[in-house]
C-alpha cells in the first residue's frame, strides 16, 4: 500500500470534495501508524490533480491523474470525460477518470526527494539558519524526523544557544498557511513533552511563501520564516 493508493481509498469512500486536512485526517484514522508525512500526502494530492500547473511539465502525463483541485482548494474526483484547462498550457486535456492505478510522475518524486535533501542539508548547516543552533541529539533521537506522538513527525528538532527548543518544518517549493497547522502541532507537543516550561520556537524553511503564510507568521511572534535558494557551481572535468 502506497500513499497514492491510500488517497484513492479515501476518495472512493467520499461523497464529494475534500480539503487537504480532511484527506490527511481520514488517512491517519485508517493508518494510525502514520506511514506518510502530511507534506508527502499533500504533494501526492497535488500530483494527482489534473489542473496543478507545477506538476504538469508534460500534458500527456495528465491522463493518469484522477483528481481536480477546485477554487476553494478542495479536491474531488474528476468526472469521466471532463475537459480541464491546465493553467500555462495551450491546450485542453480530456481527462478520463477510469484509470486504475495512478502513477506519480517524476516531478513530484523529485519534489519529495528535494525536501529530504534539504532537510539533510539544514541538519548539517544549522548555523546558516541561526547562529548557535544545534540538533537535539539524544540517545533516543538524532533530532531529525522526531516522533511527536499524535502530532506526527518533526522534520528537525533543534536547540538554540539559550537551551530553548526550536522546531523546524521543511517545505520544498512554496509554503502556504497550511504549514503552520503542522508546525504549531509540533511546537505544542515539544512544549508539553520536552520544554519543561521553556519557550518553544518554530521556523518554516521554504523556497518561497504565499502571502497568507506571511500574514500568519506576523501573528505568531515565536515563528519565523527562512527562505532557501539553490545555486550551482560548474568546473571542468579532466578526461
Q: Encode pLDDT of 141-170 as tens digits.
A: 889 989 898 888 899 999 999 999 999 999
Residues of the chain within CATH 1.10.10 domain(s) are: 3-104
Look up cell 534539504; give the residue. 118
What are 43's three cell numbers? Answer: 504533494
Gap between the Cα atoms of 91 and 83, Å rounded: 10
Quick one: fold of 3-104?
Arc Repressor Mutant, subunit A (1.10.10)
What are 71's three cell numbers? Answer: 477554487
Of 39 and 9, more confident: 9
> For the chain, how far is it from start to end, CA to CA, in angstroms?
46
Q: Within a 13 Å sphere around the CA of 49, how many CA atoms are in the beta-carbon half?
A: 24
* CATH architecture entry for 107-227: 3-Layer(aba) Sandwich (3.40)
Gap between the Cα atoms of 98 and 79, Å rounded: 9
Least confidently predicted of 24-28, 31-35, 132-136: 31-35
**Per-residue pLDDT tens digits for 166-209:** 999 998 778 888 888 889 999 999 999 999 888 999 999 998 99
What are 127's three cell numbers? Answer: 548555523
Cα diameter, the chain: 61
Residues of the chain within CATH 3.40.1350.10 domain(s) are: 107-227
**Per-residue pLDDT tens digits for 70-83:** 878 888 887 644 44
Gap between the Cα atoms of 26 and 11, Å rounded: 10
Q: Do β-strands 75-77 and 153-159 pair in parallel, antiparallel, or remain unpaired?
A: unpaired
**Per-residue pLDDT tens digits for 109-132:** 455 556 778 888 899 889 999 999
- B/e letters for 195-207, b = 16+ CB within 10 Å, e = fewer, are eeeeebbbbbbbe
Least confidently predicted of 13-22, 40-49, 203-212: 40-49
Stated as kind and residue range, the H or E segment containing 22 is helix 20-30
Reference 145, options 22, 4, 39, 25; nearest CA is 39
Amino acid at each position: 500500500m502506497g500513499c497514492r493508493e491510500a488517497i484513492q481509498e479515501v476518495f472512493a469512500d467520499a461523497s464529494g470534495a475534500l480539503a487537504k486536512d480532511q484527506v490527511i485526517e481520514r488517512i491517519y484514522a485508517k493508518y494510525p501508524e502514520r506511514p506518510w508525512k502530511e507534506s508527502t500526502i499533500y504533494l501526492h494530492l497535488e500530483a494527482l490533480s489534473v489542473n496543478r500547473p507545477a506538476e504538469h511539465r508534460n500534458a500527456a502525463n495528465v491522463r493518469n491523474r484522477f483528481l481536480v483541485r477546485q477554487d476553494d482548494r478542495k479536491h474531488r474526483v474528476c468526472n469521466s470525460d471532463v475537459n480541464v484547462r491546465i493553467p500555462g498550457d495551450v491546450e485542453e486535456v480530456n481527462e478520463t477518470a477510469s484509470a486504475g492505478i495512478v502513477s506519480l510522475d517524476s516531478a513530484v518524486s523529485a519534489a519529495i526527494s528535494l525536501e529530504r535533501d534539504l532537510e539533510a542539508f539544514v541538519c548539517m548547516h544549522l548555523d546558516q539558519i541561526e547562529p548557535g543552533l544545534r540538533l537535539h541529539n539524544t540517545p533516543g533521537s538524532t533530532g531529525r524526523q522526531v516522533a511527536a506522538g499524535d502530532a506526527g513527525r518533526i522534520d528537525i528538532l533543534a536547540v538554540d544557544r539559550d537551551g530553548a527548543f526550536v522546531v523546524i518544518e521543511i517545505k520544498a517549493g512554496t509554503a502556504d498557511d497550511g504549514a503552520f497547522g503542522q508546525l504549531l502541532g509540533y511546537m505544542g507537543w515539544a512544549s508539553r513533552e520536552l520544554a519543561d516550561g521553556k519557550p518553544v520556537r518554530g521556523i518554516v524553511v521554504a523556497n518561497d511563501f504565499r502571502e497568507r503564510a506571511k500574514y500568519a507568521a506576523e501573528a505568531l511572534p515565536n515563528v519565523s520564516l527562512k527562505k532557501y535558494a539553490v545555486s550551482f557551481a560548474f568546473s571542468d572535468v579532466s578526461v
